Amino acid sequence: MLLFRWAILLLLLVAGVCFVFYAGTGQLKYRRIGWIVLKWTLIAALGFFAVLIAERVA
């Protein structure tokens, strides 16, 4: 569980760095990569927390 939390934190950091690169360079590829990483990180995090909630309920 700790490993999964660190992975989510690291992916959020990667998305943030991509957005900083976009702000610094203006290249659209960094914004696109940042949105993709952010989207899949949030989907994975929601799935992880859904499993935790399901374990508590059952």
User: Given this model, what pLDDT does residue 37 score?
Assistant: 97
User: Given this model, what pLDDT does residue 17 score?
Assistant: 97
Q: Which residues contact 41 (CB under 8 A, 6 or more apart)?
A: 8, 11, 12, 15
pLDDT tens readout for residues 1-58: 789 889 999 999 999 999 999 999 999 999 999 999 999 999 999 999 999 999 999 7
- As a whole number of angstroms, the distance between CA 57 and CA 49 comes to 12
Nearest-CA neighbor of 8 among 37, 29, 31? 37
User: Given this model, what pLDDT does residue 1 score?
Assistant: 79
Write down the domain spans for the chain.
2-57
CA dihedral 29, 34, 36, 39 (to 10 degrees): -160
